[in-house]
Amino acid sequence: MNEIKSEHPLSDTDLLASAPGLENRFRDVISGRFDADEESPELLPTKRVLAPMVETPKLHKVLAQAGMGSRLEMEQLIVEGRISVNNEPAHIGQRIQFGDHIKVNGKPIRYRIDPPPARVIAYHKPIGEVVTHDDPQNRPTVFRRLPKLYQGKWQSVGRLDINTEGLLLFTSSGQLANQLMHPRFGLEREYAVRVLGALSKEEKTLLLDGVKLDDGMAQFSSIEEGGGEGANCWYRVTIAEGRNREVRRMLESVGHAVSRLIRIRYGAMVLPRGLKRGAWMELDEADIRVLVKAATPGGVTGDKRDSAGGADRGATHAAQKPANKIRGPRGANVRLKKVAGRHDGAVQPDPMQTAFGYIGADSLVRQRKDGNQKIKGASGGGRSRRGR
């Protein structure tokens, strides 16, 4: 689908005035100036480990709360060797966590420990890393740079091939990962792509209408020119699914080889400004809520604040009314894009024109300036101290 643009495009000055701190600009991504904020002396240094969040109550307390007896009685059963955790004899003072299997006298018991809240980190993947836990060719993997997770393991939200760089999300929740990847919700992936030779009008139309690949039809939601030098031309493209090497294959199908590919957005999350290649940051609770909302039936990637009409009301109004602009912060006009793959008529404001409804543009800078201890990272691609 073609992009719907506002009648009065905003200037850079207007954009920064309507969205303070927004400098996550397309031209910065493709020029190499994107991570210049990392060198700013105003920013606090990043942390290299995750803060522990896992709820690990003591075994005898959990058994007592499950109605098995008093805490003293449970301790006595532990001493007598009548209780096991994950098929291993329990011991006094042992702590358990969500998912552990407990047996009393050889019989499994039911108990309740709430699962830990989902954690999400945004990683700036460099070229040369593969998205797998075990690579037969022993190539560097993205997981070697990630911080140690105290429970479970990191699951990637989609993949990027070895020659693609940019935003890659990881979560501790398999359910959330599946939700964010499910094609039903059509979460947009946005890329900066450099190709050999300029796309003709006919080729753009073909890519927007759909091209046939080996695994079915594929189409871009939008295509924008991004400049370039000589035969190398930059474009901003969005797509609502994440099949293997799909962007590359689509452009190759119309005769253009891709020389560089950078993912700059996934759903509501844009590549955090100031996050160097090989570094990561953890999303806070508010940002995770916005990310999840975009992948919820009936949810819209809207303003994460409940002010000025609210995200749901504003998005619903825009979807029902055939207007081509929506009011953003301080009355700014915001470009809209139809979300391919969704059937509720939802629209998303363009994150490269305003920060309205999107997260990540200034998350790293804002949270580090505030001294937020939830922000962590392996600055400059360094490894975590607490494991790989």
| Sequence-distant (≥ 6) Cβ neighbours of residue 297 within 8 angstroms | 185
Q: Name which of 82, 85, 63 is nearest 72 in CA terms.
A: 63
Q: Name which of 5, 21, 121 is nearest 355 in CA terms.
A: 21
Q: Report the distance separating Cα 380 and Cα 388, nearest Å.
A: 16
| Sequence-distant (≥ 6) Cβ neighbours of residue 306 within 8 angstroms | none
Block residue for tokens 């939601």: 221
- The H-assigned helical ranges of 138-200 are 174-181
Cα torsion at 258, 120, 135, 239 (round to 10°)?
A: -30
The DSSP H or E segment spanning 335 is: none
Q: Report the distance separating Cα 97 and Cα 85, nearest Å.
A: 10
Q: What is the 3 state secondary structure string of 236-272?
A: EEEECCCCCCHHHHHHHHCCCCEEEEEEEEECCEECC
Q: Name which of 41, 43, 84, 37 is nearest 63 in CA terms.
A: 84
* Cβ burial 71-82 (10 Å sphere, 16+ → b, else e): eeebbebbeeee
Could you list the active site residues? 161
